[in-house]
Structure 1
Amino acid sequence: MMFLDATYRTMPRLACSQESALAAIQLRAESKRTFLGWTLREWLLGDARGVATLLPLSAAHTLGHSDFVYFAAAWGFLLLPVPFSRVILKDHTPAQVLTGATIGTVEAVIYFAIIRHAILPAVNYRLSQRIGFVFVHNFPLPMMEVLSRAYTLLAKHQQGRTDVSPPEELVQLMKVSQEVDWYLAQAQGFVDTARHRWYRRLFVFDDDMVNTRRDIHMLEAVQDKLDKVLSMFDHDASASSSDSAAVLC
């Protein structure tokens, strides 16, 4: 289940806007880079950053390719020898190990499918909120999925092909707007913290800053479109209220 979740979060760390491309060019001009385009500091701190990948589930909503390699290598090293060690220690027979691994894989895939495709999309708008008065929702979907869902709703609204009533469409747009706000706040907080706290800046690579700024531009663009559509709903509601008042008069 861990590997499935990490696979769905992997995204290339590339400059996908003019602003982030300019920032990447400036950073590469200011710092001396070595093999694979990393600076000496990034090479020295790469392993230390990899310690964060020892968490069973990634705390980041999106992983770069190097982050995924760290994650897969760390957990593969810890978990893959387990079934072989049970056979060597004669704790289980090969048939028992194969049966257990098969059952575990099937259970993990089913559980992942339910959580990932049924539950998380329905509650992602409640990020950082308490659920059941006990748990705080801090397990976000990858940002690109939320952006894709937002643009899909905007496209349906533009073409008038929504398969729900206007009130339900408004609720969907408001929820995805809340999600975009959360990701935007996280990205802006990351940049501010990296600028003002030296111990955080120490472990932040140049590419992290470039990609976070790229994310901010993408999130601001879709949030601007969502705000315009939501304002149209507010305008229509105000117009309907005025018409109703005129009829009553």
Structure 2
Amino acid sequence: MDRFIIHNLFGIEGFNIAWYGVIIGCGMILATAVATWRAKKAGYKTDVIIDFVLFAIPIAIICARIYYVIFEWDYYSQDLMSVFAIREGGLAIYGGVIGGIATAIGFCKVHKFPILKLMDFAMPSLLLGQIIGRWGNFVNQEAYGNLITNPDLQFFPYGVYIDDLQEWHQATFFYESFANLILFILMMLLVRKVSKDGWMLVMYLTGYGAIRFVIEGFRADSLYLMPGVRVSQLLSAVLIGIGIGIGWGIRSGRLRSREYHGSYLLNSDEKSGEAQ
């Protein structure tokens, strides 16, 4: 299919709107809507999510670009201006995740909002955005896996046909999207049963870390730290370790949210209005 939904917008030659951008945008909107709904249901103003997202999205995009450029520096060092040609592609989800979490830490410090509570609102939504966003890889025919030579296995969703290569490859973008959907469902089921803040962060770090570690092993376009060492697998292992550590801290009581009495709390009148 055509990777652009609109060609030459406003009559400007080359100013195209890509399906990838539209899909990512839809993922962001839906993810934000779910997070605001959950925050309001928990007794907080939707402003806490909106204010956070206004900073988190641009910072996450910048970090996703920086992450990609760092590990593809041999290419970008030949033309430094190409570093800013983000419309040509080149974003890494882990860079975005790191940028988003760093923004959350700064946001919570400034507004004195419990970081674990904000993470519990954000993590399922982040995962939902990734579930949707991976379908942008389908349109762009990227993030695919190993070559499939067996004709009996040349079917979707096990494989995907890559037009430029005239070959069937493993549909790793779909594997990750589907596995993330299962994890998202588990998180939404568990969120009602946990009393301590932070478990959604633990589930994301350990669950997505494990999913990405396994699926990255099938990818044909991985970023490498050195021969044989895939960057995403190494980072996945680190995130799993951090998630386990945070989980131990929450369970032992060493990590817990402080009582919040700030401006993002819904007052009694607003709560009664919601009930009506």
Question: TM-score, normalized by length of structure 2?
Answer: 0.27
Larger proportion of strand: 2
Asked which structure has the greater RCO (Cα within 8 Å, sep 6+), the reply is 1
Looking at CA atoms only, which structure, 1 or 2, has the larger radius of gyration?
1
Larger proportion of helix: 1
Question: TM-score, normalized by length of structure 1?
Answer: 0.30
